[in-house]
Amino acid sequence: MRRIRANAIAILTVAWILGTFYYLWQDNKPHATPSSVSQPRAAGGRSHGQRVSAGRLEIHRDDRTIPLISCLSHRTEHPGQVIGHFDEKAYLSRKQLKPGEDPYREHAFNLQESDRLGSERAIRDTRHYRCASITFDADLPPTSVIITFHNEARSTLLRTVKSVLLRSPPPLIQEIILVDDFSADPQDCQLLTEIPKVRCLRNGRREGLIRSRVRGANAASASILTFLDSHCEVNTDWLQPMIQRVKEDHTRVVSPIIDVISLDNFAYLAASADLRGGFDWSLHFKWEQIPIEQKMARTDPTQPIRTPVIAGGIFVMDKKWFNHLGQYDTHMDIWGGENFELSFRVWMCGGSLEILPCSRVGHVFRKRHPYDFPEGNALTYIKNTRRAAEVWMDDYKQYYYAARPSAQGKSFGSISDRLALRRKLNCNSFRWYLENVYPELKIPEQEAVSSVLKQGGLCFESHGTDSVGLGECKGSGSNRPQSQKWTLVEPLIRQQDLCLAITGFITGSKVKLEPCNQKEPRQKWRPKGPALQHMVSGLCLDSQSPAGPPAITQCRPQLASQSWEPQLAT
Ligand code: LR7
Ligand code: MN
């Protein structure tokens, strides 16, 4: 008898231990299998979003202590009340994958898995445990959710819509505006209007996501706009933190941490909470670690993270502020670049951008665009980013061109209305943005941009070891003589190891070359329109006359003798 009881206890203990292991294993499964989304895409392709850096998938276990799902925690009513009598089966069954068909072909993700999954599933609450105890104002204003799409799969689109309705406090959702960007089947959108609060606007021709979002925003009736991609799944309490921050200060533009939905098996994977949006000079978006000083200063993991740029697709913004700041640049086409334009504009014109760690939204990251670009993928990206650079980057746009030489000479349309907007809003300079928002973006090394400084038909050149003057331009491309090649890396105007320096601080003082020294005040210059201004004296480089020795005089950039036209020398 005793033996039997001892055996029973032993069996129960083993079962308990195994059960615990199984539970932990289940909970950790997504961590162990970061799928191919982390892989950088092969060269030559698209330039945003898809190069999900490995860091994006690093999962910090400390970040989550709520182990499992509370998928419908905020729902007080039955799903039927939020979803209505929508015939989901009929909607999905009309678009089924045919036997033998490649499940990745049409949408660049595994359609079979998405279809199989169903539209309501439990996902892990990926927030830091402290997020769950944060409280929000009882009178948060409602939002209009805007989702634009072009030929989205029905199962992912429906899951996006349903997750919004099921995981948001119902009073906060004024409406969901679907903007169908001329998809092949108008019913993809139309049928969804049977779901309460869902509206559908269909473009009469393909407009791209930028103009589509503006159309959705113009139709929105709530005072707060929420933008989402068409293949997302919002997570527990995703909306309240964002609306709270915008309610407190309408100039904030906020986004969630964007979790990863695997394009292969649709597993919902927690993204790192230590990342912010950044970019390189070619205007390629990337996730990057929060700078160490900021990380150290973060005592509370629920605090917002300031970000130089947003990924672009998922954010909340006050509607009046969106309109006041000029919505979007509607001359941008199809996809790409609008997130830089919006981010620069928000920061430079008086607002701020932040990522809220207590808000989580999953997104299916893909490795290629599943749709066509009427003007071609590369040309469209260049046109859009060129517009952003030309309007917002001032003289720093030279680094964009140096990093993306193929952009030179490509057409980008007129930007006069956007320049007028920038003047009207009295925005800060790009230099201000670099100094105050993104000091980590380093100005490229001098080799990167070697230019000739042209004035009229002549070129600025060095004579002997220390004197300078104007001379006939010689050679072209790599045949340019060294004496006519300059690198303008603020604050230095450099030729190999020598730098342009003033010899006195008063008007008429001559300039000469001397060994470079970053800290030497006499060597500090900055562009001022077409002129080059000495930073300390405030005077400008003046050739005086082609024959005269160059000196510094009062800045009058309209003077031909103060106008220096940098042109790439290589
Ligand atoms: O012609 C089009 N019309 C559209 O309505 C082309 C696309 N779209 C829709 C499309 O259906 C989708 O809903 O626009 C949305 C974005 O297109 P995706 O999902 O093909 O591209 P993406 O996920 O790479 O998009 C990221 O970069 C874009 C740059 O223009 C936008 O800013 C997207 O909103 C942005 N997505 C996100 O930020 C989600 C997180 C991904 C990252 C990083
Ligand atoms: Mn997307």
pLDDT grade, residue 141 (50/70/90)? very high
Using CA atoms, how far residue 127 sits from 59, 161, 360, 372, in Å, is: 12, 21, 7, 36
82: left (phi over 0), alpha (psi -120 to 50) or beta: alpha
> Cβ < 6 Å from ligand 1: which residues?
48-50, 148-150, 152, 181, 206, 208-209, 212, 229-230, 258, 311-314, 334-336, 338-339, 363, 365, 369, 371
Which has more pLDDT, 260 or 530?
A: 260
Instruction: Determine which residue's CA is closest to atom 34 belonging to ligand 1.
Output: 313
- Return the structure tokens found at 387: 């517009």
Pocket test for ligand 1, best of 188, 203, 209 (most atoms within 8 A of CB): 209
pLDDT grade, residue 375 (50/70/90)? very high
Average pLDDT of the residues in 156-180: 98
Ligand 1 atom at minimum distance from 310 CA: 38
Please give the distance, rounded to the nearest whole angstrom, from the Cα atom of residue 325 to the centre of ligand 2: 24
Ligand 1 atom at minimum distance from 148 CA: 5
Instruction: Determine which residue's CA is closest to atom 5 belonging to ligand 1.
Output: 149
pLDDT above 50 for 3:
yes
Average pLDDT of the residues in 307-331: 98
Average pLDDT of the residues in 517-536: 91
Please give the distance, rounded to the nearest whole angstrom, from the Cα atom of residue 251 to the centre of ligand 2: 25
Ligand 1 atom at minimum distance from 335 CA: 30
- What is residue 20's predicted lDDT score, i.e. its pLDDT? 52
DSSP class per residue in 417-468: HHHHHHHHHTPPPHHHHHHHT-TTSPPPPGGG--EEEEETTEEEEEETTTEE
DSSP class per residue in 523-545: G-EEEETTEEEETTT--EEE--S
Instruction: Determine which residue's CA is closest to atom 2 belonging to ligand 1.
Output: 208
Please give the distance, rounded to the nearest whole angstrom, from the Cα atom of residue 248 to the centre of ligand 1: 28
Ligand 1 atom at minimum distance from 49 CA: 43
pLDDT above 80 for 54:
no
Pocket test for ligand 1, best of 180, 210, 229 (most atoms within 8 A of CB): 229
Q: Are 452 and 569 in contact (CB under 8 A)?
A: yes
pLDDT above 60 for 325:
yes
Report pLDDT digits (tens) over 459-475. 999 998 899 999 999 98
- What is residue 55's predicted lDDT score, i.e. its pLDDT? 32
Please give the distance, rounded to the nearest whole angstrom, from the Cα atom of residue 312 to the centre of ligand 2: 9
- What is residue 345's predicted lDDT score, i.e. its pLDDT? 98
- What is residue 314's predicted lDDT score, i.e. its pLDDT? 98
Instruction: Determine which residue's CA is closest to atom 33 belonging to ligand 1.
Output: 313
Report pLDDT digits (tens) over 67-113. 233 334 444 456 667 888 899 999 999 888 888 999 999 999 999 99
- What is residue 84's predicted lDDT score, i.e. its pLDDT? 84
Report pLDDT digits (tens) over 209-238. 999 999 999 999 999 999 999 999 999 999
For the chain, the average pLDDT equals 87
